[in-house]
Amino acid sequence: MKGIVFTEFLDLVEDKFGLEMVDKIISQSALESEGVYTSVGTYKFSEMLQLLQNLSTNTGIEIDNLLLVYAEHFFSVLEDSYPGLLSTYKDPIEMLASIENHIHVEVRKIYPDAELPTFLVESKTENSLVMIYKSSRAMHHFGLGLMNKTFEHFNATATITLEKIKEDGTEVKFIITKN
Ligand code: HEM
């Protein structure tokens, strides 16, 4: 997992819960990196999982909710870092349907070692999109947060339903309807 995902996560934890919480979740985790991350580095996903689990235990907030809020913050990082990529799009449905064949393709050119999910478009109309998310990391709620912000970016809203295809969340159907 890319370092930017860790640095932005710990920044948000500090913002919302304070520096003591950052220190606490780092010391409660067994981290090869010892909790020192640079935005261009690459670290094990298991480190992110431990940080999330410990934050969840300490705050009583479910991991899925933490990922949702974190993704909503991460979208603004993407807006600032990759304005050119986002300005290619004029419509949220078009943008989301292009994650697999365009957006994440460009991401892989920048970070060849990025660990990205698969998004298969099952059906698409002007105002609706059904996509299958697949990833061993089961970060579907991170996807949900990015999708919410994608609609907001285009001054739109949507109703998004998740249906787990696999109980462990490694395969999830997203049913997206523009309001
Ligand atoms: C992960 C970039 C848009 C869904 C990531 C990662 C990067 C990235 C750098 C982390 C990879 C790693 O740590 O190895 C971008 C950029 C985007 C974009 C630059 C737009 C400009 C989106 C959108 C979605 C999305 C709109 C909506 C669903 C995900 C998910 C992950 C991810 C779910 C977590 C990894 C996983 O589930 O396996 N993306 N992304 N991305 N991205 Fe994107």
> Ligand 1: distance of its center to the CA of 79 in Å?
12
Q: Domain range spanning residue 50?
A: 3-61
- Please tell me whether residues 77 and 156 are part of one structural domain: yes
CATH code of the domain in which 111 resides: 3.90.1520.10
- Please tell me whether residues 50 and 92 are part of one structural domain: no
Domain boundary at 61, 93, 110, which? 61
- Please tell me whether residues 7 and 95 are part of one structural domain: no
- Please tell me whether residues 92 and 168 are part of one structural domain: yes
The total of structural domains in the chain comes to 2
- Please tell me whether residues 171 and 155 are part of one structural domain: yes
- Please tell me whether residues 92 and 49 are part of one structural domain: no
- Please tell me whether residues 21 and 81 are part of one structural domain: no
Domain boundary at 12, 44, 61, which? 61
Percentage of the chain lying above the pLDDT 90 cut: 99
Q: What is the pLDDT along the chain (179 residues), one digit of tens a residue?
A: 999 999 999 999 999 999 999 999 999 999 999 999 999 899 999 999 999 999 999 999 999 999 999 999 999 999 999 999 999 999 999 999 999 999 999 999 999 999 999 999 999 999 999 999 999 999 999 999 999 999 999 999 999 999 999 999 999 999 999 99
- Please tell me whether residues 97 and 28 are part of one structural domain: no
> What span, in angstroms and rounded, lies between the C-alpha atoms of 158 and 137?
25
pLDDT digits over 92-122, tens only?
999 999 999 999 999 999 999 999 999 999 9
- Please tell me whether residues 7 and 52 are part of one structural domain: yes
Write out 51-112 in H/E/C secondary structure: HHHHHHHHHCCCHHHHHHHHHHHHHHHHHHHCHHHHCCCCCHHHHHHCHHHHHHHHHHHHCC
Mean pLDDT (the chain) is 97
Which of 39, 40, 78, 171 maximizes ligand 1 atoms within 8 Å of its Cβ, making it the mutation to test the pocket? 78
Mention every residue, 6+ apart, whose C-beta is less than 8 A from residue 34: 26
Specify the ligand 1 atom closest to the Cα of 138: 37
Domain boundary at 37, 61, 85, which? 61
Contact (CB, 8 A) for 43 and 33: yes
> Ligand 1: distance of its center to the CA of 83 in Å?
15
- Please tell me whether residues 137 and 152 are part of one structural domain: yes
Name the residue with tokens 């949702």.
68
- Please tell me whether residues 89 and 154 are part of one structural domain: yes
Which of 2, 47, 104 maximizes ligand 1 atoms within 8 Å of its Cβ, making it the mutation to test the pocket? 104
- Please tell me whether residues 143 and 162 are part of one structural domain: yes
Name the residue with tokens 């393709």.
105
ipTM (interface predicted TM)? 0.94
